Structure 1
């Protein structure tokens, strides 16, 4: 059985589900900073070895010691493959450049910073490219991301592997402290960090158009990010909008998706979407802009609908179409759950990931 060290600094949901399924195939050790340990408690397979290390804030020079501790852990494990989830951490990137590493696989969730995303670490967009070139194999979730790495970064196509982002609904159902909620027939959900690229502006422009045809429509806006008041300078109708402009506790997330008829991703730019992966795991269809990798994640007219970006009228029409057709809702809910047993199933994703590990070992030798 091959020995794998799985290192992550974030993307906890993805890493938890991947690790739980990989443990059936490989000898796995999970490595992460102490500050993300709490997220993994009670949802990580107890058979997986978990090692934590102290990790200061990015601007803290003690990161030099932290990276030394991380490298000591990796050398002690002596893995056949080190698999790293994209870090956005320049300290790791420079460590990667200056140290001899085991055969390396890196999962790249986003190649570029999203427009308006103020959470990105200064300089990381440049230093993270070190991982592109130092890794024997890269994993991305969609064809557009693979094409960017090949065309803009001149990487050989045989080094870039496409593996879908697995469903996250089952993880959040395990975390939930609620009983399953009934669907609210005309409730829409906009979930996640609220930045300009998420296109909330166009959804709010669409809402009056939807209300003309579906007077009972309600929109839940749930997540942190921009000051939500800028979108409602004159206040808002609390019967029409439920706004939770805050961090959503992990145990409360599934409740939002279970209540909603459809999840909305009116993005103006996207690489992939963990929100869609979470929505499908709850059996909730998705209406999304046809940008980036979203057209691969959302299967148009099967488990969701695709609309042109920045087009409030088309978005409104798609929402009206779905809310007005209960049979269509049921078919799409069933299709979403079926996807979770097929290409979005973690066991299938883990098996594909192991094939990448085997290719990495073979290439390195």
Structure 2
């Protein structure tokens, strides 16, 4: 049986794309198309058998993007794929290219329907032009039923075009990338990881820390990632014995060690569509305490493989962390359930298999 030809295009969401591509390769005739600026990040983690085409993609305000999009269309015309699968770009140049060109059956993975509050990295105009991708896609993939509801109700995307697939686990990827020896887990260390913007709710975790320390004086918090100015969180200075700050982009080879050190990854978000941080923690055996908001409420089964608390509730956040630190049996129960999820619905082979089914649906819709 001839395998369908798939062109998988991404401009960002590199980790997701790497793991999806590695599993799709076994199921379809796959070509990965990516900008040169992300190629180095992806190259060492991709299956070397995957056919990769790179093209030059200037910064978003550079008019040479006209040429970049022309190059992308030229690549697609030469490949003539049965399906084009694009990871959400947040790039108006691509969206306008969709508007002015005829495309093969198009599947778009939409990681964030709306931009996150306070995220200054949002691209000007993308909130408007991304609607083109919503409506030109023969199938859209989202990571939560809540996002499907938003697409169908707010943007009037037909219900039958929107498919829900979970965000796959990322622990396996970062274990492969790690260059360090296995790190011993620190029993009272908490981790806040990733881009630091207002919607991540770091201030609530910092406010909860004294409540946790009253029960566990040796508790330690690692804050790792780039974003806002940290001084606003610590007007009286930082207690370096209790808080470790890594105000920088964390190289991929160092990420696994941070999760291995930490007993709990804390996600005190006040807004969320989905979370690669949570699925990374699951795959690393790191417990998760998160806000009951957005896609997190569908990803995390509270009391089964993690704990959920009301967003912005400092007391509830502290109580959940104290509960976990106090109960080794509960820790083991949640870890076992999280690992099981990584072998089931969060497993990339399973996600790739379902993605191929969506490709066939898109082809059927396009050519009827």
TM-score range (shorter-chain normalised) is over 0.9
CA distance in 2, matches of 1:129, 1:267: 26
- How many Å apart are 1:167 and its aligned residue? 0.3
Which among 300, 325, 341 is matched to residue 323 of structure 1? 325
- Indicate the residue corresponding to 2:76 in structure 1: 74
- Indicate the residue corresponding to 1:354 in structure 2: 356
Is 1:16 aligned to residue 18 of structure 2?
yes
Write out aligned runs for 1:272-287 (5 A): 272-287=274-289
CA distance in 1, matches of 2:317, 2:10: 36
Which among 14, 36, 39 is matched to residue 38 of structure 2? 36
CA distance in 2, matches of 1:41, 1:76: 23
Write out aligned runs for 1:245-284 (5 A): 245-284=247-286
Q: Could you say what secondary structure the match of 2:231 adopts?
A: helix
Which among 200, 203, 215 is matched to residue 201 of structure 1? 203
- Indicate the residue corresponding to 1:121 in structure 2: 123
CA distance in 2, matches of 1:247, 1:229: 18
- How many Å apart are 1:42 and its aligned residue? 1.7
CA distance in 2, matches of 1:16, 1:341: 18
Which among 287, 293, 296 is matched to residue 291 of structure 1? 293
CA distance in 2, matches of 1:347, 1:145: 23
Is 1:306 aligned to residue 308 of structure 2?
yes
- How many Å apart are 1:20 and its aligned residue? 0.2
CA distance in 2, matches of 1:299, 1:242: 29
Which among 84, 88, 98 is matched to residue 86 of structure 1? 88
- How many Å apart are 1:110 and its aligned residue? 0.1
State the Cα RMSD in Å: 0.6
- CA distances 1:244-269 after superposition (whole Å, capped 9, x unpaired): 01110110000000111010000001
Q: Could you say what secondary structure the match of 1:43 adopts?
A: coil
- How many Å apart are 1:181 and its aligned residue? 1.1
- CA distances 1:15-39 after superposition (whole Å, capped 9, x unpaired): 0000000001000000010000001
Unaligned regions of 5+ residues in structure 2, if any? none
CA distance in 1, matches of 2:76, 2:22: 20
- How many Å apart are 1:285 and its aligned residue? 1.6
- Indicate the residue corresponding to 2:187 in structure 1: 185
Checking the alignment, whether the CA contact within 8 Å between 1:284 and 1:336 is kept in structure 2 is no
- Indicate the residue corresponding to 1:164 in structure 2: 166
Checking the alignment, whether the CA contact within 8 Å between 1:82 and 1:102 is kept in structure 2 is yes
Which among 231, 243, 251 is matched to residue 233 of structure 2? 231
Is 1:215 aligned to residue 207 of structure 2?
no
- Indicate the residue corresponding to 1:100 in structure 2: 102
Q: Could you say what secondary structure the match of 2:16 adopts?
A: helix
Checking the alignment, whether the CA contact within 8 Å between 1:8 and 1:32 is kept in structure 2 is yes
TM-score with structure 1 setting the length = 0.99
- Indicate the residue corresponding to 1:340 in structure 2: 342
Checking the alignment, whether the CA contact within 8 Å between 1:199 and 1:267 is kept in structure 2 is yes
Unaligned regions of 5+ residues in structure 1, if any? none
CA distance in 1, matches of 2:159, 2:53: 33
Is 1:50 aligned to residue 52 of structure 2?
yes
- Indicate the residue corresponding to 1:154 in structure 2: 156
CA distance in 2, matches of 1:285, 1:295: 16
Which among 120, 132, 135 is matched to residue 133 of structure 1? 135
Q: Could you say what secondary structure the match of 1:340 adopts?
A: helix
